[in-house]
Structure 1
């Protein structure tokens, strides 16, 4: 069961609380769609200054839109293309301060100015990505990256 909580305005403590909330939400559930849906909703509720949060899952060599919160999005993204596809091909987080400076950026939402994409890796295989967009440039910092990587690490144990 999810219990809404008040955050502390200490980013590090708030992220630690977020990780505990995620574990409580998914610990008894094995369905990937249910877990990713709740994870997207939790991040949407927690993060400020974002306009899209969700998942793309790798299917037959391309990323396919999964559970998300926000405006309708690009349905398919080729591996190696855009920020999401690059996160898959490089197998590492992409933290982009200004998406308009990223070669080959795919503009699913013209309002997006910055983006962070974290690959989801299960049994040494990339199975998808967590993608978060913001209407503000330079929205995501190293603390966001650290805890969003921990967030996906928790998810990986349940997928």
Structure 2
């Protein structure tokens, strides 16, 4: 099993399986527009712009489970993130990243990293071209600090 086994729902578009990204390097992030870490969206977008032509994709998954810091409706999230932070990378419908209704993708991600909890917004999972989890980063990790690892995975 790999991340390619899972289906996700982008904002305003039909669901798709992540196998559409086979051979790409992915960064999967749970986002929240009112979180103190939301400015990381700009840094995530910069990484995306710098590396997308080499096969890098950022996938944002809004979540309202941490102090209700994603109050926007699905249809408002993309517009807000685009206007405030310049986000063009794919954003998806709100999901649960913990608890009884945890999205299957996130269940897989936490099991693969051996750390069963998502502690906060902006937890990041870096996925290699093989669809396997290469690295997990906490909320405090600025996306720019992941650049070397991303480049390394892109060169493989």
Normalization by structure 2: what TM-score? 0.34
Q: Answer 1 or 2: which has greater strand percent.
A: 1
Normalization by structure 1: what TM-score? 0.34
Q: Which has the higher contact order (CA 8 A, sep 6+)?
A: 2
